[in-house]
Amino acid sequence: MIILIPAYEPDERLTALVAGLRAADPRAGILVVDDGSGERFAPVFDAARAAGAEVIGYGVNRGKGRALKSGLGYIREYHPGHDVVCADSDGQHTVADILRVAEHVRQSDGAMVLGGRRFTGDVPGRSRFGNAVSRAAFRVATGIPVHDTQTGLRGYPAGMLGWLLGVKGNRFEYELNLLLQSRAAGIPIEEVEIETVYLEHNASSHFRPVVDSLAVLAPLLKFVASSLGAFVIDAVGLVLLFALTSSLFVSVVGARIVSASVNFLVNRNAVFTGERGNLRRDLLRYIVLALALLASSYVWLTVLTQWGVPLVAAKIITDVTLYVISFHVQRRYVFPQAPVALSPSASRLPSLPASSPAP
């Protein structure tokens, strides 16, 4: 097992964490990645090295996602066959919780293991709000009930490292991208409850509430934007065709054909990205889904307009209701990605001591 700790401008808490981990489990390897902290913080990394960690890094800050990838790539090359637990350097993750996540990874069957906080006690407002928004948006977009989407304490089996390195993102959005793409890759998510720790009201956090929240939510916004674009095309087409033909059936069918064609291309090439399957297969599945949604839309529009609901309002109510169903069907069945091939024995190799120096 390797404990991977990305660090940007850390303080003595990094050294304390390394020392605590070495004392609690001398068999575990510890790798610290200096994310361009600069010469002023060299003594901190020297102390971490003296406490028993390997330290690698680079001169310019590149973001947490890049630091994690650098560490994962280093582990895959120099410590192949070892599970990885990623933890933050600012003292928010206790030694006991890190080792609990590590043990859960060993016992799980190829799952991504999250150390999930419950946000009890004196939690900073920006952290409580940010996690609540991220949790709700993630649940709507994926249907996965993850309680703590922003946790930095995560465990990965050794066979998952190749997939981890292929997921896009260099800053805080990287960790959310891993969650968003896990289901399509066939990777289960398991959550272990951990202690909620905020030292000095989270003063050491480098998470920028506005800028980084937008970056974290960017993948979710992409999903919504695709559906919103299709909705606009569909709504405009419906109104125009109804004005020309006065036929609700012709208007619904014609508008849906145009909007569905655009939505299929956008979703296949920009939203549900990854290893794409056969175009004909994807198109056939999408057509079946579109026909089912079309029938449902027509029925609900007919019922609502007969109840006196204006056409545009009825359209909004109908499409919002069908959106969630459409998204999940597309994600799971229309544009599925090939599952990640994990080696069942890779994560069972003996642990490597952390005393070997970095090259």
Q: 159-193 pLDDT, tens per residue?
A: 999 999 999 888 878 888 898 888 778 899 999 99
pLDDT at 18 over 90: yes
Domains of the chain by residue range: 2-212+342-348, 219-334
**What's the predicted TM-score (pTM) here?**
0.68
Q: 267-296 pLDDT, tens per residue?
A: 888 777 655 667 888 889 888 988 888 888
Using an 8 Å Cβ cutoff, are 235 and 284 in contact?
Answer: no
Q: Which of 54-68, 170-184, 199-213, 250-264 has the lowest mean pLDDT?
A: 199-213
Please state, in angstroms and rounded to a whole number, the distance separating the CA atoms of residues 261 and 282.
12
More confident residue, 229 or 333: 229
pLDDT at 13 over 70: yes
pLDDT of residue 344: 43
- What Rg do the C-alpha atoms of the chain give, in angstroms? 24
Q: What is the DSSP letter of 41?
A: G
pLDDT at 345 over 60: no
Task: State mean pLDDT over 6-14.
Answer: 95
Q: For the chain, what percent of residues have pLDDT higher than 90?
A: 43
User: What string of DSSP letters covers 200-260?
Assistant: GGGTT----HHHHHHHHHHHHHHHHHHHHHHHHHHHHHHHHHHHHH--HHHHHHHHHHHHH
- The CATH number corresponding to 2-212+342-348 among 3.30.450.270, 3.90.550.10, 3.40.50.720, 3.30.300.30 equals 3.90.550.10
pLDDT at 38 over 80: yes
Q: Which of 44, 128, 58 is nearest to 90 (CA)?
A: 44
Coil, helix or strand at residue 54: strand
Using an 8 Å Cβ cutoff, are 148 and 117 in contact?
Answer: yes
pLDDT at 15 over 60: yes
Q: Which of 34-43, 49-58, 176-185, 191-200 has the lowest mean pLDDT?
A: 191-200
CA dihedral 221, 224, 229, 232 (to 10 degrees): -130
Q: 92-133 pLDDT, tens per residue?
A: 899 999 999 999 999 988 899 999 887 555 555 555 666 676
pLDDT at 322 over 60: yes
Q: Could you tell me where the beta strands, DSSP code E, fall in the chain? A: 2-7, 29-35, 54-58, 84-86, 112-116, 154-156, 189-193
Phi and psi at 177, nearest 5°, equal: -60, -35
